[in-house]
Amino acid sequence: MRQGLRSILETQAGVDVVGEAGDGRTALRLAGELSPRVVILDIAMPDMNGIEAARRIAAEHPHIKVIGLSMHSDSRFVSEMLKAGASGYLLKDCAFEELEQAIRTVAADEIYLSSKVASTVLNDYVRHLSAHGTSPASVLTNREREVLQLLAEGKSTKQIAFCLEVSVKTVETHRQNMMRKLEIYSVAELTKYAVREGLTDLEH
């Protein structure tokens, strides 16, 4: 998918591909190092999903425009991506046809939604997001969401501690805090919650 998108972009006048990443954490790092004008993020990425990466990029590099890429047309995924700070959302099955238009649209400070989901999402956005500005996982801190995704992806406490460069005790504290806030008391149920809320996708 990345190679295909890159091939299309390299044929477009005025578009330069400055970097690629295979996971959200690398994407976040490269965004800071390369300072691109637009970043295209797959929602389902290992280590840090696209929604969390978009949230971090928007907070740390507000000049960078983010386009979410997903196979999911569910308005919940689109809403979470937009609330995270993304300016666009593309479905994978039409990304090749709409990519150039999406990039030029968000680069012009406008919102771009894939044509297949635009009407559904706009209706949901107008009806719900204004009245309910908090996301389902908003009770969790950024770090707790990171720990939750890694837990849901099957990583051990020790692996998570290594990945996040913190102590095992810190990870355990985050897990206990998450369970208390969400009133969920098993890793299996936490995993189900993470999938349900779009924080991770077990197919990836």
Domains of the chain: 2-129 (3.40.50.2300), 142-196 (1.10.10.10)
- Residue of 116, 119, 121, 120 lying closest to 86 (CA atoms): 121
pLDDT of residue 191 exceeding 90, the answer is: no
pLDDT per residue over 78-88, tens digit each? 888 988 999 99
Contact of 65 with 87, CB cutoff 8 Å: yes
pLDDT per residue over 10-39, tens digit each? 888 888 899 999 899 999 999 999 999 999
pLDDT of residue 171 exceeding 60, the answer is: yes
Q: What is the pLDDT of residue 204?
A: 45
Q: What is the pLDDT of residue 34?
A: 95
pLDDT of residue 90 exceeding 80, the answer is: yes
Instruction: Using the structure block, give the residue that is written with the tokens 């309910």.
Output: 132
Q: What is the 3-state secondary structure (H, E, C) of 45-57?
A: CCCCCHHHHHHHH
Residue 169: pLDDT band (50, 70, 90) is: very high
State pTM to two decimals: 0.67
The Cα–Cα gap between 44 and 152 comes to 13
Q: What is the pLDDT of residue 202?
A: 58
Stretch (H or E) spanning 9: helix 2-9
pLDDT per residue over 115-166, tens digit each? 777 766 666 656 655 555 555 556 888 899 899 999 888 888 999 999 999 9
The Cα–Cα gap between 69 and 47 comes to 17
Give, as one character, the DSSP assignment of residue 88.
E
**How remote is the C-alpha of 100 from its chain's centroid?**
20
pLDDT per residue over 57-82, tens digit each? 999 999 999 999 988 887 788 888 98
